[in-house]
Structure 1
Amino acid sequence: AVINRSGVILAVNARWQQFACNNSVQPGQPAANTGVGSNYLTVCSIEAATDPHTREACQGIVDVLEGHRPIFTLEYPCHSPQQKRWFNMVVTPLRYRGQDGATITHTDITPVKQLQEDMLESFLAIQSILDTTLDGFWRTDLQGRLLEVNPSYCRMSGYTAAELLAMRISDLEALENPADTAARMARLTQHGHDQFETRHRRKDGTVWPVEISTTFNGKLSPPCCFVFVRDITERVQLQESILQSEHQRFEQLNKLTASVPGVVYQFRVQQNGDWSFDYLSAGVESLLELTPQDVYRDASAPTQCIVEEDRASHRAAVEQSLKTLSPWSHEHRIQTRSGRLKWVHGQALPEPQADGSVICYGILTDITANRNAQIEIQQRETYLQAIFDTALDAVVGMDEQGLVTAWNRRAEVIFGWCKAEAIGKPLHDMIVPTQHRAGHAHGLARFLATGQSDILNRRIEITALRRSGEGFPVELSILPFKVGDKRMFTAFVSDISERKRSEQALLESEKKFRLIAENTSDGITIFDKHQHVQYVSPAVMKQLGYTEQNELSRASAEVYALIDPAQRDALFASINEAIQSKMPALSYAYRIKHKSGHYIWREDSTNFRYTSTGEYDGAYVVSRDITERKRMEEEVRQLAYFDPLTHLPNRRMLNDRLNQAMAQSKRSGHCAAIMIMDLDNFKPLNDAHGHMVGDLLLIEVASRLRACVREVDTVARFGGDEFVVVLSELDAAPEISLTQALAVAEKIRAALAVPYVLSVQKQGQPSVSVVHRCSASIGVTLFMHDDTSAEDVLKKADSAMYQAKEQGRNRVWLSQA
């Protein structure tokens, strides 16, 4: 219906008219004031005095018309003649034909209300069941928060409902941690249902066992879980009581079997062939490394421990015992879980039962030690017999009558008697020389009578006899022992004929060695593996001036100290490298200090010794004094490369030094210089006073030249009165290098221009001083890394020198090319 601001009905639809008739107190007639033109507020005002719903509806309509509410709704009951019905009234503002008003709708919600009433009745019934059931009940969300609890769980836990609704499942759990509870909730949402046993903690801190049955419902909003909690304290106590009673019975049985070595068991075989263990003592853990529970779960576990090769015989023995009901006994090997191999002895007595089964009462014992002892004895006997037969010594046994009781293969070889011939014969008749037999018999009788002997329990060398009658040297040791009350003897005899021959050969060899070593001019030194001197020949002492005692007391460090410091490190490094490389020999020359303090030259030829495994074992060193040879080599070198008068490098050496300077210039990028000088006014000195005086002046010139240059520079005599100076490693800049070279050249020119005072003495006359003025013309050229040859450089300097002479002598001239 549409009403104006005063409440007058302006328009209605057919459903409104039907609604007015259905809810009228007069059948077939519409309710009063519900038609067009009627004031709807009037009827509401009349009924508002007695009906609170009408009163609320009237006020709501007025509030919408006056703009106090944007909309008004109300659910209310209406008693029609047919039945009680429910409607939903909605009032909304409306402007109709230029007037402010409102629309009023009444919607029949009776079916919805009826469904709500039915659901409420069901809920109240369910709530009544949950409130009266003995099991606890929860409703939780997916985070484990309790949303609903029943009185039974409150009684179980000691918490109030308000306290529980502020808690999570994990707050009540006594076994699971929060992570485990969360994981269980995740599985529940996946599978929909779970049932398990756990323990909960009461408010007073006590713990009690519970059985949980929970269901997840994802269709509700929000999803939740329904949980029933049953107190299973009595059931758990009953189970524990049963287990304790059974445990006490087993404990009593275990106490009885604890002192029994091995495993005591009761074994049952059913008529159908199935079998199981009724009882196993704790010894099964140490013997088979199985727990009784392992065997109760799988009766075949002990059989699986039997070594594969022994299973068939074990099975056959068991089947025969069950078939004949006769006692069973069997020895076999087992392998435990850890891989240990054991020998066991099983015994059992089968006893038939009324139900047709057979119970076997048995014991399984560890006989590993006994079997191993038997095996070890057998192996030891075999081992000793093998040693006896393969020993390098002859092993001979003898009893107190002097008869042979043992004779190994080596005895057959050494003495020539086979074992069958020797056993039982008097020993002295076979291997003791005739002249010693009486003494042998006397010594045996003395020992048997007094227990004293001069040869027992020690090694001695004597002469024995072969079957052929040949006497030969042997090393003998005799050990006495007792078997029961009888004396027995074991003799170990080694044929030392070869050793004696070797010793004699060694003596001869040492004599020859000493004869050679002590009469040769070369020194011989023998070092051990620790580099200590073991032997020195007289020639070594003669070379160095030390006594034999001095030499024998030396270690390698003292030898090191005697060697020229400039050579010692390189020399010892080469020796060590040769040893590390397993070289057989090494030769080297070096300088070593004589006792008097001067150095001599020696040449050593060293032969290294190594063991069969390649370890260093010492060395033989032959040393030759080569001092004289080195002196002669130096003289030859001087003649070849140095001027014999001035001792300056000659032309050959100069070429070598010049090439070195050019190569160094190429490497470093620095300049070098060469200067050639010729003496001015030298010939008149020779003509007036002879060549001897001229030689004195040349020697003085050489001395002055050396004083003007550095150690790294070269001063050479080129021939006659010509000299050459090579200045190496000047500056990288040619201008600076040129300045340096000219400065040195001027220094040389000035030094050589100083008058020479020469002392001359003729035979039979007093010495006379000769004063001579002699200058030099010097040609200088600079060369760098790009100059091609030493010959070109010399030509440039020579040309410059001639320019100096042409320009008036006693001057320096620079090559311009």
Structure 2
Amino acid sequence: MRAKSRTDVRLDVLMNLHTGVVVHAPDTSIIFSNHRAAELLGLSEDQMLGKRVIDPNWCFIDSEGNRLAPERYPVSLVLSTLTPLRETVLGVLAPDRADIVWLIVSAFPDFSSSGQLLRVVVNFHDISQRKKMEAELEKSRAFAHSILDGIAANVCVLDEEGKIIAVNQAWKDFYVDNGGAQGHCHEGDNYLKVCTNAIQSLSAELQSASQFYIGFREIIEGKRERFDLDYPCHSPKEQRWFFVRVAAMRNVSPRRIVVTHVDISAQKQTQEHLQKSLIFSKRMIESMRDGVSVLSKDGYTSEVNPALCEMTGFTREELLGTSAPFPYWPEEEYSVIDRAMKKTISQQQGDFDLIFMRKNGERFPVSVAASTVFDDHGQVISYIATVKDISDYKKMESEIQNLAFYDPLTNLPNRRLLNDRISLAIVSSKRSGKYAGLMMLDLDNFKPLNDQHGHDVGDLLLIEAAHRLRSCIREVDTVARFGGDEFVVVINELHRDKTLTDAYLIDIAEKIRSAIAAPFILHSGTSNDKASIEHHCTASIGCLSFSSTVRHGRDLLKLADKQMYRAKQQGRNRVSLLQTDIDESTISTNEPQRSPP
């Protein structure tokens, strides 16, 4: 088996892309699909290739989970508008698969030079399970193999004057098959005369004809030892090409010349088909929105697509031929990316979230899916990586994280994060043997402000109150918005002595009470019509200290809540401290009984 050609490698690369690629004819039937496409869409090749109607239980859904009508599928939209579809988020519901696979889909029309629509190319990237994907891309067989193995050559032997002195059986069979007389061997005939038709057929290609005559004469005259040429020899029924080799036999006297003709029509047709496939695959790779980088087995960059160049800011020329560390690797990330690269080499695939660098020095997050391409003998040919810029997704994840754990108005921790912080304070107290503190406070004069000036002004007061609370505590402590105008303060690791701890809590509570009591100057309205509102507000604060005897944060919140309402009942703008040690009996006998605010 011959080694894979450069074309074979490119086709292997296309079939091994980590991104799904599907090509539709103008009638929407599928004419090409890589393995990744079938995997992501949840369909078999029998359901896809050549098909337009698939399992009725299969469908695309939009980002809200609504089933899309077929006319809203990517290929349908491109066919109806003849314009590209860029990075559209779609989900796939497939039979026998419980999970929805979410994709970013791009599709574009491919036109001929005359403007006729040839096909629609659709590519898509899995964004739902980047962290979990472990399926290894299947090796694909080479797109085309040599078809010359086993083809019998037509051979004749000439004397020094160019006359035929012997022919083989394949020569005779070819002659008879093409209308020649049975039993005629051409022995004694001039070779050029016998091959007149073949020579004349070259007249349409004057350069080839000239090369053949010149090369043949130089062999006859002893000016060269060998001459090769491809030439057409078409029959009325088919287009045919042959490879001819004219070579002088060595160490033979008198001089003898061997002429070998091999029918390479199938090879020519295959080469033409492969050339078209190469152009087609190159267009698809270049059209992909994700970056693609191909490395040789020695680790040097052999190919990059425009998307990777646009993403990183480096030109194709700047990237080709480079090896690790590549220009888009930040120096501080060398070790992390190098480990990912070595993992790909050892495990033959990998899926990683990394940090890359643009040419201007800007860092940005990427998702890299890498795999290994093998030849038919299982030997490594190259490595291929698809690179997705996930800056927007990381920003979205951060925003979602913030919404999950922080109050959107004050940017303080919400109840969920508060519970975690209290649990950590309990664990820390058990480890260190030191007391910690908890405060719950309520703004005493908040409702009248809302009633008189509206919730927008009330929100301004809550934001300012959050700033004042943060300024009263240490960095290691926590201020959380408990709900409405209620806040909770968690103070970590204070003293082993409860008396000293309680004294510290009273000092902090008074500091908070004083900060809240300062006048609030609130600016409401638009920039052209802004009003300043002065509001006076106080805080009722309930606080307590706790140690390793507490098991649940909810018990502390109940006790602090009761102390806060005790401060309100005592006239508001006060601090109420639970002075007893907290144990199971304290918790069970101190259920809060709220009175109206």
Say whether 1:509 aligns with 2:509: no
Deviations 1:238-271 (A, max 9, x none): xxxxxxxxxxxxxxxxxxxxxxxxxxxxxxxxxx
Q: Please give the alpha-carbon distance, in whole angstroms, between the structure 1 residues aligned to 2:186 and 2:240.
A: 22
> Per-residue deviation at 1:487?
0.9
2:226 aligned with 1:457: yes
1:640 aligns with 2:409: no
- CA distance in 1: counterparts of 2:563 and 2:370, whole angstroms: 57
Superposed CA deviations along residues 420-477 of structure 1, whole A, max 9, x for unmatched, are 99796769489946242899798666644x4224xx43543334689x9977334444
* TM-score, length of structure 2 as denominator length: 0.56
Cα distance change on mapping 1:771 and 1:791 into 2, 3 Å: closer
User: In structure 2, how many angstroms separate the alpha carbons of the residues matched to 1:725 and 1:460?
Assistant: 89
Measure the CA separation in 2 of the matches of 1:758 and 1:783.
40
Q: Which amino acid aligns with 1:403?
A: I
In structure 2, C-alpha distance between the alignment counterparts of 1:427 and 1:727, rounded to whole Å: 109
**2:558 maps to which of 784, 790, 795:** 795
* Partners of 1:676 and 1:780 within 8 A in 2: no
Instruction: Give matches, 1:176-215, under 5 Å.
Output: none
The alpha-carbon deviation at position 642 of structure 1 amounts to 1.6
Q: Is the contact made by 1:397 and 1:407 (CA closer than 8 Å) also made in structure 2?
A: yes
> What's the CA shift string for 1:546-590, capped at 9, x where partnerless?
544445465442355259x5x76545533431331123xx44444
Q: Please, which of 563, 566, 576 is the counterpart of residue 342 of structure 2?
A: 576
User: For 1:460, what is the secondary structure of its paired residue?
Assistant: strand
Partner of 2:489: 725
Matched residues, percent identical?
Answer: 27
Other-structure match for 1:485: 253
Question: In the alignment, is the contact (CA less than 8 A) between 2:328 and 2:359 conserved in 1?
Answer: no
In structure 2, the CA distance between the partners of 1:715 and 1:451, relative to structure 1 (3 Å rule), is same
Change (3 A) 1:684 1:470: closer
Quick one: structure 1 residues 536 and 741, their matched pair in 2 at CA, closer, same or farther if it must change by over 3 Å?
farther
Q: Deviations over 1:577-631 (max 9, x none)?
A: 1331123xx4444454445655555444444323445454334444444444444
Shift of 1:711: 4.2
Report the equivalent of 2:76: none
Deviation at 1:684, TM superposition (A): 4.9
Instruction: Say yes or no: does 1:746 pair with 2:507.
Output: yes
Q: Larger RCO: Structure 1 or Structure 2 (Cα < 8 Å, ≥ 6 residues apart)?
A: 2
CA contact (8 A) 2:164 2:188 kept: yes
1:296-334 deviation line (CA, Å, top 9, x unaligned): xxxxxxxxxxxxxxxxxxxxxxxxxxxxxxxxxxxxxxx
Give the conservation status (yes or no) of the 8 Å contact 1:716–1:724.
Answer: yes
**Structure 1 residues 488 and 641, CA gap change in structure 2 (3 angstroms):** same
SS in 2 for 1:747: helix
Instruction: Tell whether the 8 Å contact from 1:675 to 1:745 is kept in structure 2 after alignment.
Output: no
Separation in 2, partners of 1:469, 1:425: 30
Distance 1:579 1:658 in 2: 46
Closer/same/farther in 2, CA of residues 480 and 653 from structure 1, 3 Å limit: same
- State the AA in 2 paired with 1:479: A
Tell me what 1:705 maps to.
469
Q: Compared with structure 1, are the counterparts of its residues 745 and 518 closer, same or farther at alpha carbon in structure 2 (3 Å cutoff)?
A: farther
Post-superposition Cα deviations, 1:58-90, rounded to whole Å, max 9, x if no partner, equal xxxxxxxxxxxxxxxxxxxxxxxxxxxxxxxxx
1:780 pairs with 2:544: yes
Work out the number of aligned pairs and report it.
Answer: 413
Going from structure 1 to structure 2, the CA distance change for 1:435 and 1:631 (only over 3 Å counts) comes to same
Q: What letter is aligned with 2:230?
A: E
Structure 1: runs of 5 or more not aligned:
1-389
Distance in 2 of aligned mates of 1:579 and 1:713: 46
Q: Please state how far the C-alpha of 1:720 moved relative to its aligned partner.
A: 1.5
**Separation in 2, partners of 1:531, 1:461:** 37
- Going from structure 1 to structure 2, the CA distance change for 1:638 and 1:815 (only over 3 Å counts) comes to farther
Specify whether residues 445 and 639 from structure 1 end up closer, same or farther in structure 2 by C-alpha distance, changes over 3 A only: closer
- Report the AA paired with residue 157 of structure 2: M
State the AA in 2 paired with 1:694.
G
How far residue 398 of structure 1 moved from its aligned partner, in angstroms, is 1.9
Indicate how the Cα distance of structure 1 residues 745 and 471 shifts in structure 2: closer, same or farther if over 3 A, else same.
same
Shift of residue 643, structure 1, vs aligned partner: 1.0
Distance 1:805 1:512, change over 3 A: same
- Please give the alpha-carbon distance, in whole angstroms, between the structure 2 residues aligned to 1:604 and 1:775: 53
User: How much does 1:718 deviate?
Assistant: 0.4
- Distance between the aligned counterparts of 2:430 and 2:174, measured in 1? 83
Quote the Cα distance in structure 1 between the aligned partners of 2:418 and 2:532.
36
Secondary structure in structure 2 of the residue aligned to 1:486: coil
Aligned pairs for 1:184-333 within 5 A: none
| Alignment gaps of 5+ in structure 2 | 1-148, 178-182, 201-208, 583-597
Change over 3 Å in CA distance of 1:519–1:682 after alignment to 2: same
Answer yes or no: is 1:436 the counterpart of 2:179.
Answer: no
Name which one, 1 or 2, has greater alpha-carbon Rg. Answer: 1
Aligned to 1:398: 157
- Report the counterpart of residue 415 of structure 2 in structure 1: 651
Residues 164-206 of structure 1 show CA distances to partners (whole Å, capped at 9, x for unaligned) of: xxxxxxxxxxxxxxxxxxxxxxxxxxxxxxxxxxxxxxxxxxx
Distance 1:645 1:591 in 2: 32
Deviations 1:487-518 (A, max 9, x none): 12345655543432332222212332344344
Output the CA distance in 2 between the equivalents of 1:443 and 1:613. 39
* Paired residues of 2:293 and 2:305 also in contact (CA < 8 A): yes
SS at match of 1:617: strand
CA distance in 2, matches of 1:499, 1:745: 92
Q: In the superposition, relative to structure 1, how do residues 811 and 666 fare at CA in structure 2: closer, same or farther (>3 Å)?
A: closer
> What residue is the counterpart of 1:101 in the other structure?
none
1:674 aligns with 2:438: yes
SS of the aligned residue for 1:655 comes to helix
